[in-house]
Amino acid sequence: MAKDAKEVKDTAPVETEEVKVEATDEVVEEKFAKSGKKSKKHLEEVKAEEERQAKKVERAKEEAEAEKKPKGAKPVTRPLIERRGKNYRKVAEKIEKGKIYPLAEAIKLAIETNPAKFDATVEAHVRLGVDPRQADQNIRTTVVLPNGNGKTVHVAVFAPLDEAKKAKEVGADIAEDVEFLKRLDKGEIAFDVLISTPAYMPKLGKYARMLGPKGLMPNPKAGTVTTDIEKAVKEAKAGKVEYRVDKQSIVHIGLGKTSFGAEKLLENANTFFDSLKTQKPASLKGNYVKSVYITTTMGPSIAVENLYS
Of 3.30.420.40, 3.30.190.20, 3.30.360.10, 3.40.630.30, which CATH number belongs to 85-150+239-309?
A: 3.30.190.20
Predicted local distance difference test score (pLDDT) of residue 176: 93
Q: Angle between the 2-34 and 40-68 helix axes, to the nearest 10 degrees? A: 50
**pLDDT digits over 103-131, tens only?**
999 999 999 999 888 899 999 999 999 99
| Whole-number Å distance between alpha carbons of 53 and 197 | 81
Average pLDDT over residues 7-30: 48
Query: Is the pLDDT assigned to residue 12 strictly greater than 80?
Result: no
In DSSP terms, 128 is beta-bridged to: 289
**Residue 56 pLDDT grade (very low, low, confident, very high; cuts 50, 70, 90):** confident
Q: What is the model's pLDDT at position 124?
A: 95
Cα end-to-end span (Å), the chain: 118
Which of the residue ranges 78-82, 139-143, 228-232 would you say has the lowest mean pLDDT? Answer: 78-82
Name, in order, each residue with C-beta under 8 angstroms of 247's C-beta and a sequence gap of 6 or more.
Answer: 132
Architecture of the domain made up of 151-238? 3-Layer(aba) Sandwich (3.40)
Q: Give me the residue spans of the domains in the chain.
A: 2-68, 85-150+239-309, 151-238
Tell me the sheet residues that pair with 123: 254, 295
Query: What's the confidence (pLDDT) of residue 81?
Result: 58
pLDDT the model gives residue 96: 87
The string of pLDDT tens digits covering residues 237-253 is 887 888 999 999 999 99
Run of H or E including 124: strand 121-128
Q: Which pTM does this prediction carry?
A: 0.63
